[in-house]
Amino acid sequence: MHLLTTVVDMHRQRRALAGSVGVVPTMGYLHEGHISLARRARAENDHVIATIFVNPSQFGPGEDLAAYPRDLPRDLDLLEAAGVDMVFVPSTAELYPPGYETWIDLADLPTKLEGAQRPGHFRGVATIVTKLFNLTRPTRAYFGQKDAQQAILLRRLTVDLNFDLDLIICPTVREPHGLAMSSRNAYLTAEERQRAGVLYRALSAAAEAYERGERDAESLRRGMAAILAAEPAAQPEYISIAHLETLDEIVGEMRVPALASVAARVGKARLIDNVWLGREVG
């Protein structure tokens, strides 16, 4: 497995690749969720590139940029075992050199859900992913359902900016009790980790009600809110049933596929999770 750290090297190595290229962008501190993306990329492409970059521009003031967990040696071992060919691990100065001033802004999607809580977050995400797409020129790029708004917004970006690639959304990998795997779970104590299973319990209840035929969005939101309220360790930030493409909150009857999503604070961590209603992930 090749470890690349500079833009010049990345461009040079990419030019030498013939055939299909699968790309898996990450911020490192890898877990089984990330590795599921790498394995799928391995199965579907001639070459696999993973990237590890904790992108400062997607963290707001007061967020956890400095504390974000890191373990590069372990990450490299896991990626090698998953069959990844190249890992791009640039420094911040390499991607944002002095004088940097180009940003990618989507008009509407960043104002919803996560974007409403984290101003500027998706500007940072859209910008870094555009740069990584230009650096790695994927045939297929792999993202997790776990960050559903990110995946939906990046699909829009891929179409809007005419990137010649397939953006593939992979199902959320969970702990046995349902908690979605996340690098940020490292901030939780063992007890908080158990209690944080309440996010998925609330989402599962919404999915089950939907399966039984419930189509009143407000009733699904109320059901999730009641389950979350019964766990004092979780402080919800939003509880949403939204249109799966526009991410607008659904009012009244659900006639289209929907994203059921929650964000909540548990201990030192801010956690997000979602399920899709009326459409398979992919």
Residues annotated as catalytic are: 34
User: Least separation, in Å, of the C-beta of 55 and ligand AMP?
Assistant: 8
Torsional sign, CA 183, 184, 185, 189: positive
Q: Under rule CB under 6 A, which residues in 26-65 are in contact with ligand AMP?
A: 26-27, 33-34, 36-37
Exposed / middle / buried, residue 102 (Cβ in 10 Å: 0-12, 13-18, 19+):
exposed
118 binds ligand AMP (CB under 6 A): no
- Interface characters, 74-93, with ligand AMP (x: CB under 6 A): --------------------
Q: Under rule CB under 6 A, which residues in 158-217 are in contact with ligand AMP?
A: 170, 172-173, 180-183
User: Least separation, in Å, of the C-beta of 61 and ligand AMP?
Assistant: 20
Q: Which CB atom, from 153 or from 209, has the smaller least distance to ligand AMP? A: 153
Residue from 47, 131, 140, 146 that binds ligand AMP (CB under 6 A)?
146
Q: Which CB atom, from 13 or from 149, has the smaller least distance to ligand AMP? A: 149
Q: Which CB atom, from 110 or from 217, has the smaller least distance to ligand AMP? A: 110
Q: Which CB atom, from 142 or from 210, has the smaller least distance to ligand AMP? A: 142
CA gap 280, 282 in Å, rounded: 6
User: Least separation, in Å, of the C-beta of 185 and ligand AMP?
Assistant: 9
Residue from 22, 90, 144, 197 that binds ligand AMP (CB under 6 A)?
144
Q: Which CB atom, from 14 or from 34, has the smaller least distance to ligand AMP? A: 34
Residue corresponding to tokens 């690098």: 183
User: Least separation, in Å, of the C-beta of 135 and ligand AMP?
Assistant: 16
Q: Which stretch binds ligand AMP (CB under 6 A): 12-20, 43-51, 142-150, 246-254?
A: 142-150
Q: Which CB atom, from 173 or from 196, has the smaller least distance to ligand AMP? A: 173
Residues 6+ apart with CB under 8 A from 266: 188, 192, 195, 196, 233, 234, 235
User: Least separation, in Å, of the C-beta of 70 and ligand AMP?
Assistant: 11
Q: Which stretch binds ligand AMP (CB under 6 A): 81-89, 139-147, 215-223, 263-271?
A: 139-147
User: Least separation, in Å, of the C-beta of 1 and ligand AMP?
Assistant: 18
Exposed / middle / buried, residue 153 (Cβ in 10 Å: 0-12, 13-18, 19+):
buried
What does the binding site for ligand AMP look like in residue numbers (CB under 6 A)? 26-27, 33-34, 36-37, 143-144, 146-147, 170, 172-173, 180-183
